[in-house]
Structures are given as C-alpha cells and as structure tokens.
Structure 1
C-alpha cells in the first residue's frame, strides 16, 4: 500500500530539487527568476517559420 508521501514530487526544471508549492513548478523564487531571465534574454525561444518572424511574404499566395 502506498501513501501520499510515497509519490514522487515534480522536480524543478532549473536545478532538479523538489518543487515548492509556492513556486510550482520551481523550488524557489531564485529558480523562477532564472527561468524568467532566460525567456527575457532570448535564450529560450519558440520556433516558428522565418517569414512569420520578419513579416515577409514568400509570394506563394494569390492576391
């Protein structure tokens, strides 16, 4: 029989420590701030089509 304490806690994506309820999915404010800084500095990026990034048209559609 397993108890609720036996379930593994999710790990912080920055340092790997168990996540804290106040900062989920992170373990601390520090790790949450590190993640935010990575997004703001452009280290993390969501890939997209290049023409979307620059607002260019490839000329394939009719007008």
Structure 2
C-alpha cells in the first residue's frame, strides 16, 4: 500500500511539473489517503502484536 502511495506521489509531482494541476491534485490526494490508511493499519497491527505477544508469553 505504501508503494502505491509513493507511485501516486511521483505521478503528482510529474503532473505538476507539466502543468496538469488537476491531475496533480488528484494524485496527491490519493497519496495522502493511502499513507493515512497505511499508518492506521500499522498502528493497529503494532498494538495487536504487542497485546497478543503479552498473552502468548
């Protein structure tokens, strides 16, 4: 998922360079959403990992 966010960021930068501001804005929004989802999932999995680890050991 983080890979797709980076791809969207690169598309946004390239579109911005060439003057396609609408495309750049859309790709930047997609990148922000994907990074947000990635961070939330990483946080949830980290908390679950710590709590499950404590229950197992």
- What range is the shorter-chain TM-score in? 0.3 to 0.5
Higher RCO (Cα < 8 Å, 6 or more apart): 2
Bigger Rg, structure 1 or 2: 1
TM-score (normalised: structure 1): 0.31
TM-score (normalised: structure 2): 0.33
